[in-house]
Structure formats: C-alpha cells, structure tokens
Amino acid sequence: MVSTRQSLLSIENLTLNDVEDLFKRATFLETAFQNGAAVRRNRVVALLFAEPSTRTRVSFEMAAHRLGLQTVVCDNPATSSLAKGESLADTVLNVAAMQPDLLVIRYNKDEATDSILKELKFPVINAGTGTQEHPTQALLDAYTIKKCRGQVSGEKVLFLGDVVHSRVANSNRKLLALLGAEVAYCGPDSLTPAKDSLWQDVKRFSGLNEGLAWASVLMGLRMQKERHIGIAVTQAQVQNYQVNAKNLISLRADGIIMHPGPVLWREEFADEVAQDPRYRVLDQVTNGVFIRAALMSKLLNIEV
Ligand code: NCD
C-alpha cells in the first residue's frame, strides 16, 4: 500500500485500492485546478533528473505548482557536480540533507543509489529508472485508457516497437495486469525479448496488421537507440513496423492510439497518425499532470 510518507519506486508498491484512490484524486484535482484552487502551500519538492526529460519533468513541476508546492529542479548533469565526478548516490545524499518534503528522481538504476533512496525519511517518486520502471507513466496511461475507453479491465493493449528496452512498457505490463487488461507486443525480431525476460510469456504478433486487428489500445514506443548496445536495428525493420493511415484501417474504429512520447515522426508513427481521430497522445500528457498531482497529494497527505 502506498500510504502517506511511503514511496513509489515500482508498480509493485501499488495495490488495486491505491490505483483506484489515485484515479479518484486525479479526477477531483482536474476540476479543482480548472477552478483555480491551490490545495496547500510552502512544502518543497526536489526534482533530480540525471537523464533527459521533457514531459515527465515539466508535468511534475506543473502538478506541484498547481498543488501550491514549491519546487527545486536539478536537471542538467552537465552543470551539476555529476560533471565533476560526484556519484549519483552522493548527489542524492546531498539533496536529501537539504530536507525536501519529497524527492522526484530519474536516473540510470544503480545499487548504491537504490539503497540510499530506500533509507530516506521522506517519500521518493521514481520518474524513470533505466529500462526498468516508469510507474507514473504507467499510471497516467492506465488513467487515460480508463477515461477514453470507459474501463481498463478487459482492454487489449498492444505495445509496438522496442518493448525490451522500454521502462514505460515494463511498468505498464505490471500495472495493466493488476487492472485486468490483456497485453501483447509487436516489433522487429532483433528486439524480441530473451527467453528469461519478463516478456517471455506475453503474446507476440509478428505482423503489425494482425496486432492492430487484435488491439483496442495501441501504444507506440520510441526505439531506445541509446540503449541498443550490440544490437543492430535497421531502418528497414523500423519502417516495417511503422503505423500509418493504411495499416490503421486494421485498428477498430473505437480503439485509441497512445504513445508516452517523445514520438519520433516517420519512425514508429507516420506524420498522418497525429490527424487520426483515435490519436490520444496529448490527452496522456494532460492526464500526466492530474496523476502526478494525485500521487504527490497522497504521499504528502494533502487533502483534496
Ligand atoms: C519515456 C521515457 O523517458 O521513458 N518518455 C516519457 O517519460 N514520457 C519514453 C522514451 O524516452 O522513449
């Protein structure tokens, strides 16, 4: 149970009740923000981003400010002491010594940092670790599915592309299982999950059209090229799995098209996908503010 003052480091920290409570809070906060209400003031959220981010960082800040929280952001490794050779674990210890009320952190998972995060006296939110976890993205994705499709349970969610290296897909797979959705994936052979991977028992479609015909939710993913060490993915393979107006005919009329961003146009999605009436990518971004506000309000025990 994620209760007051606990952390969200992994989807495994969540129960079904937690997710339902977060969705309820997000819906309430959506109205409260539209009415201009600030819920509480003067607490400080530290945002430490040791890997690039646009949506996640900005939406955490936006959500914090909407709740009346202050933020301090350290998001440029090149201008922090990380560039001088300080370890991330030491950086975390130093930020923690300044006693923020909450820490939001994105980093490339390492054991020293993980064990420090578990000992901190204030809550921590994982804003993306390596290829492993991105729990708040999974929450905002499930919330978007619920809002657009009416429910998550029973939905058929197809992940397209680089599932092996996607922390978004990894967290989504766990949360969607908790919420009763079915998951499948489709992508180039060179990115097929290994036999001992967490994806080994998940349904795979080798053809994109076949996958699209099965799905009620399509989730495009970016090729995580920065993580393709020793793996060759050719442009032809990428194009083979590109979603476009022609193959989108296979996706049901009331299905939805999602993507955690950043979308690399003309790689996973052809340009015209943005004009498809089923395209919900910016709704995900909007919902990210409500979900992150819901989570921060819950961890800081802010009444909503
Ligand atoms: C993703 C990430 O950083 O994991 N983006 C996001 O947080 N919305 C996906 C990606 O980088 O491809």
pLDDT in tens, 92-115: 999 999 989 999 999 998 999 999
> Which of 134, 282, 289, 292, when mutated, tests ligand 1's pocket best, judged by the most ligand atoms within 8 Å of its CB?
134
Q: Does residue 38 have a pLDDT over 50?
A: yes
**Cα 260 to ligand 1 centroid, rounded to whole Å:** 6
Q: Residue 128 CA: which ligand 1 atom is closest?
A: 4
**Cα 35 to ligand 1 centroid, rounded to whole Å:** 30
Q: How confident is the model at residue 5 (pLDDT cuts 50, 70, 90)?
A: low
Distances in Å between the alpha carbon of 195 and those of 160, 168, 245? Answer: 19, 20, 34
**Cα 285 to ligand 1 centroid, rounded to whole Å:** 12
Q: How confident is the model at residue 76 (pLDDT cuts 50, 70, 90)?
A: confident
Q: Residue 221 CA: which ligand 1 atom is closest?
A: 12
Q: Does residue 4 have a pLDDT over 60?
A: no
Query: What is the pLDDT, as a whole number, of residue 72?
Result: 95
> Which of 51, 58, 168, when mutated, tests ligand 1's pocket best, judged by the most ligand atoms within 8 Å of its CB?
168
Q: How confident is the model at residue 1 (pLDDT cuts 50, 70, 90)?
A: very low
Query: What is the pLDDT, as a whole number, of residue 40?
Result: 54
pLDDT digits (tens, 9 = 90+) for 177-216: 999 999 999 998 888 787 778 888 899 999 999 999 999 9
Q: How confident is the model at residue 154 (pLDDT cuts 50, 70, 90)?
A: very high
Q: Kindly report the average pLDDT of the chain as a whole number.
A: 92
Q: List pocket residues of ligand 1, CB cut-off 6 Å.
A: 55-56, 128, 134, 137, 167-168, 222, 260-261
Q: Residue 260 CA: which ligand 1 atom is closest?
A: 8
**Cα 240 to ligand 1 centroid, rounded to whole Å:** 22
Q: How confident is the model at residue 42 (pLDDT cuts 50, 70, 90)?
A: confident
Q: What is the mean pLDDT of residues 135-139?
A: 98
Q: Residue 134 CA: which ligand 1 atom is closest?
A: 4
Q: Does residue 227 have a pLDDT over 90?
A: no
**Cα 168 to ligand 1 centroid, rounded to whole Å:** 7
Q: How confident is the model at residue 79 (pLDDT cuts 50, 70, 90)?
A: confident
**Cα 56 to ligand 1 centroid, rounded to whole Å:** 8
